[in-house]
Structure 1
Amino acid sequence: MTVLALDPFQPPQFWYWQGHAIAYQACGDSGPAVVLVHGFGASWGHWRKNLPILGQTCRCYALDLIGFGDSAKPLPKSEIDYTFETWATLVADFCREVVQGPAFLVGNSIGCVVVMQCAVDFPEQVLGIAALNCSLRLLHERKRSALPWYRRVGARLLQALLQNPAVGQFFFRQVAQAKTVRQALHQAYARPEAVTEELVEMLLKPARDPGAAAVFLAFTNYSQGPLPEDLLPQLTCPTLILWGAEDPWEPLSLGQALADYPAVEQFIPLPGLGHCPQDEGPEIVNPILQAWIQEKASQSSPPSPLGAHLPVD
């Protein structure tokens, strides 16, 4: 089956945030605004199969969070703190300055936590949230007690080792190899045919940038901050959760507990899909997102801003 997709290697547009270049792509000239937020180690290209479809009925944007993709990678701590609060502020400012108004936010994995944090901190910028296989942050310091002892000890030991610069750099070099990335994707994806060489190279390319290793190691050691269950009770916008049922990293059996929060209007399991359903099964995910966004947009009807898609220098 042919899937309409953008070239993930085409030059992006850039917007400048706090002096840092932030990459993004956009499709669509009319309709409600939608901002797509990728997961850890990914980029706007992880939405390459969704942008052109959603852009048929929406003004759709996908950005690279600072530290990832083609966006700037300033040094952790000395230049910027890589936290969910930082990324949430970036997304809210993107809505104000580029989108020029509130938007529906769609996230995958840790991108779900980013958009939830954005909706909590900046509710005026968020019309609704769609979360795809939300990161449950199972290695968070408040969740480790539920892990087997060997995983608790192993996680702490690995984090301690990675704080050594030489060990951290060596570890990153092993991770940032085509073979390792391909193996991880085959574990996370339920559809092996979706793991293409284009996808592997798309994920590897930003890892070669200066600063990429430091960002990776900073997030690997980030076991604090919010959990989804901290943020969901605070949401005041409609929320949709989609879950690839074969996800080995964020099990459906645990994710279903998120459906119990009042803001969550629908929880839809997606049989046969894994951790990144937007990339594995766009023919399944896109119609669900289109219908939900159009339904919610008809209830809110925000004005369409002028100058959409103009890069901001």
Structure 2
Amino acid sequence: MTNSSSKTTLTPTKTWIWQDYPICYQAEGDTGPAVVLVHGFGASWWHWRKNIPALAENCRVYTIDLIGFGASAKPQPGEQMHYTLETWGQQVADFCREVVGEPAFLVGNSIGCIVVMQAAVSNPDIALGVALLNCSLRLLHDRKRATLPWTRRVGAPVLQRLLSIKPLGQFFFNQVAKPKTVRKILLQAYANAEVVTDELVDILTAPASDPGAVAVFLAFTSYSTGPLPEDLLPQLPCPAIILWGTADPWEPIELGRELGNFPQVLKFIPLEGVGHCPQDEAPELVNPILQDWISERSIVINSAKLEA
């Protein structure tokens, strides 16, 4: 199997103009089906650096920075851009049409899972299949808040209101964006502390200094509406698989397993002892699963085309 080390040389990033804004993306691989990888909140295409080489052995792999994150543009929330899951879903769908040029396998992590499902549901023609890695359960959503312990049920809205006060929001972001704080957060999210390297911390903190980064962060922390995974899964126009790190402290696997009951989900695969970002923490587990899934689905799709 291809070495998953982040030292692997990757091709330079490219720029795609979407709604007049520059979007950063990376493309690797010359043959095979198209695969689009979508990061979670606060991350970027670099969060897939350990997966790209392995998948590019037999696929054309595209990784994209969602607008507001990574090296993509960060226009002002509300005035110039609405940072919603519907917006990001449409961005991914347009990317498949304008850059990839054909339907693709969509792979997401955390909030990126909701984004790829939204893209597939709203644009059925662009998705061959969907892989969800520790899907965000959106437990602070307005429709789910009543199920939370009272401390979180009451505390979250209060925090959201406080962060909406610009000076307080700016101060909070500046504290969270510090490398020391980011490392502490990652050590919660990752079960294997050795994976939380200086490189990973740099990947997540570097975009925080970009103009507009604070506003995007605060816009999303106040976002408690939009689609839930259980809204989108029954509407999926293609099959899905779900991978879930059992040691995820943010998205409990007990709740995640319920998503595996939807008919569209072909497989629910627990990853023992892995945290919230399995593609980065355990690429040696994730890469073969994705490779096999893409290969199996490609055979099914090609056979169906021949019979048609």
CA contact 2:40–2:111 (8 Å) conserved in 1: yes
What does residue 66 of structure 2 align with?
A: 65
Q: What is the Cα deviation at residue 6 of structure 1?
A: 5.6
Aligned mates of 1:288, 1:198 — CA distance in 2: 25
| Partner Cα distance (1:141, 1:288) in 2 | 34
Equivalent position SS for 1:168: helix
User: Would you say the 8 A contact 2:8–2:53 is kept in 1?
Assistant: no
* Alpha-carbon contact 2:3-2:54 (below 8 Å) kept: no
In structure 2, the partner of 1:306 is none
The residue that corresponds to 1:307 in the other structure is none
| In 1: Cα distance, 2:23 partner to 2:128 partner | 23
Q: Which amino acid aligns with 2:51?
A: N
Post-superposition offset of 1:236 = 2.1
| Counterparts in 2 of 1:9 and 1:128: CA distance versus 1, 3 Å | closer
Which residue in the other structure is 1:202 paired with? 203
Deviations 1:244-264 (A, max 9, x none): 110000011110000110100
Counterpart residue identity of residue 274, structure 1: G
Assess if the C-alpha contact under 8 Å between 1:36 and 1:106 holds in 2: yes
The CA distance in 2 between the partners of 1:202 and 1:115, in whole Å, is: 22
Residues of 2 paired with 1:8 and 1:77: CA distance? 38
Equivalent residue, structure 1, for 2:306:
none
The residue type equivalent to 1:91 in the other structure is V
2:157 equivalent in structure 1: 156
For the 8 Å contact 1:8–1:45, the answer to whether it is kept is: no
CA offsets, 1:184-217, max 9 Å, x none?
A: 0000001111100000011000011000000000
1:148, distance to aligned residue in structure 2 (A): 1.3
Distance (Å, rounded) in 1 between the aligned partners of 2:186 and 2:193: 8
Using a 3 Å threshold, how does the CA distance of structure 1 residues 272 and 124 change in structure 2: closer, same or farther? same
Match of 2:236 in 1: 235
Change (3 A) 1:254 1:290: same
Please state how far the C-alpha of 1:300 moved relative to its aligned partner: 1.6
CA RMSD between the two structures: 1.6
Q: Which residue of 2 aligns with 1:171?
A: 172
CA deviation profile, 1:47-86 (whole Å, cap 9, x unmatched): 0000111000000011000000000000000001001110
For the 8 Å contact 1:108–1:276, the answer to whether it is kept is yes
8 A contact 1:5–1:50 mirrored in 2: no
Q: How does 1:77-156 map to 2 (within 5 A)?
A: 77-156=78-157
Partner residue in 2 for 1:309? none
Conserved 8 A contact 2:245-2:253: yes
Residue in structure 1 matched with residue 253 of structure 2 by the alignment: 252
Shift of 1:11: 4.9
Q: Given that residues 10 and 28 in structure 2 are in contact (C-alpha distance below 8 angstroms), is that contact kept between their aligned partners in structure 1?
A: no
Question: Deviation of residue 218 (structure 1)?
Answer: 0.2
Show the counterpart of 2:267: 266
The offset of 1:153, in angstroms, is 1.1
Q: What is the Cα deviation at residue 298 of structure 1?
A: 1.4
Gaps of 5+ in 1: 303-313
Letter of the 1:194 counterpart = V
Please report the TM-score for the alignment, with normalisation by the length of structure 2. Answer: 0.95
Larger relative contact order (Cα-Cα within 8 Å, sequence gap ≥ 6): 1
Give the drift of 1:26: 1.1
Would you say the 8 A contact 1:113–1:135 is kept in 2?
yes
SS in 1 for 2:35: strand
Distance, in Å, in 2 between the alignment partners of 1:42 and 1:185 is: 12
| Letter matched to residue 141 of structure 2 | H
Query: For residues 8 and 81 of structure 1, do their structure 2 counterparts lie closer, same or farther at Cα, with a shift above 3 Å needed?
Result: farther
User: Taking structure 1 as the reference length, what is the TM-score of the superposition?
Assistant: 0.94
CA, structure 1 residues 106+6, in 2 after alignment: closer, same or farther (shift >3 Å)?
Answer: farther
CA drift of 1:7 comes to: 6.6
- Structure 1 counterpart of 2:298: 297
CA contact (8 A) 2:31 2:58 kept: yes
Residue 305 (structure 1) aligns with: none
CA 1:193–1:25 in structure 2 vs 1: closer, same or farther (change >3 Å)? Answer: same
Question: How far does the alpha carbon of each residue in 1:151-192 deviate from its partner, in whole angstroms, 9 at most, with x for none?
Answer: 111101000001111111011000000111000000000111
Moved more, 5-14 or 15-24: 5-14
Q: Aligned pair count?
A: 302
Partner letter of residue 58 of structure 2? Answer: T
CA shift for structure 1 position 4: 3.5
User: What do residues 215-244 of structure 1 show as CA deviations (whole Å, max 9, x unaligned)?
Assistant: 000000000000000001111201000001
For the residue of structure 2 that corresponds to 1:73, the secondary structure is coil
